[in-house]
Amino acid sequence: MLIPRLSLFLFATFLAADPIGSGLADGTRLVYESAGASQPPWIYDSVRVVQRAEFDRCVMVTRREQTPREHCARGDTLFVRQASGAYVVRRPLGPRMEMDVPTASGDVLYYTTGDADVREVAGVSVSFLPTTIVTRTSEGVATRRLREQYATSLLTALWGVFEQPDSTGGWTPSREFQLVEIAREGRD
């Protein structure tokens, strides 16, 4: 059983890297739980590094039953390529950052990040950036907050909780999720 252990070790080492998408490969399967129930797995059919002169790193990912999506990093900022070909700011990638990201609906996402940390998911160490995202209307009214542990290597969160504003000026949790499995199809 040296080969499976070696491949798990190499996969775990691969996931510990910080570059965007570096923890994803063809056949990667991510499984989340929410409200105590497993959710349908996210399966990555294709993951390709794409060279773009204006970015430090770009990754084209295709999740099963979804259209391909290109993610690019420049410095401490993540961009996503739109259908029009334009690259738009998606989120901050660095610690202790604040960023406002307008949405197509007119809302604004207010990002605040903390210090990077590492967490184990099913025996795999994954670095993450604690992030809080507050959704505000164009009038500045907060409508939702998401607190998450965002893993740049996976281009998604390891854990998160959605919250709604309450009448006291605080937040009430509405839904929590967590990543419980990181695997590759045909290798587990």
The residue-averaged pLDDT of 19-37 equals: 95
pLDDT for 186 equals 63
Using a cut of 0.75, tell me whether the model's pTM lies above it: yes
The residue to which tokens 């294709």 are assigned: 46
Q: Is the pLDDT of residue 16 over 90?
A: no
**pLDDT reported for residue 185:** 73
pLDDT in tens, 72-96: 999 999 999 999 999 999 999 999 9
Question: How far apart are the C-alpha atoms of 119 and 141, rounded to whole Å?
Answer: 33
Q: Which of 100, 98, 99, 96 is nearest to 129 (CA)?
A: 96
pLDDT at residue 120 tops 60: yes
3-class secondary-structure state, position 185: coil
16-20, 61-65, 111-115, range with the lowest pLDDT: 16-20
pLDDT tens digits along 154-166? 999 999 999 999 9
Average pLDDT over residues 61-81: 96
Q: Among 171, 146, 142, 144, which residue's Cα sits nearest to residue 159?
A: 146
Q: What is the pLDDT at residue 53?
A: 95
- pLDDT for 184: 85
Instruction: Tell me the mean pLDDT in the region 2-26.
Output: 58
Element at 7 (helix H, strand E): helix 2-15
- Nearby residues of 16 by Cβ (< 8 Å), 6 or more positions away: 118, 125, 126, 127, 153
Minimum mean pLDDT among 17-26, 144-153, 166-175: which range? 17-26
Q: So what's the pLDDT on residue 9?
A: 39
Report the candidate in 25, 1, 49, 23 with the shortest Cα–Cα distance to residue 122: 23
Q: What percent of the chain has pLDDT over 90?
A: 86
Q: State how far the alpha carbon of 19 is from the alpha carbons of 96, 173, 174, in Å.
A: 18, 31, 31
Residue 174 has pLDDT above 70, yes or no: yes
Q: What is the pLDDT of residue 15?
A: 34
Spell out the domain ranges in the chain. 2-41+95-184
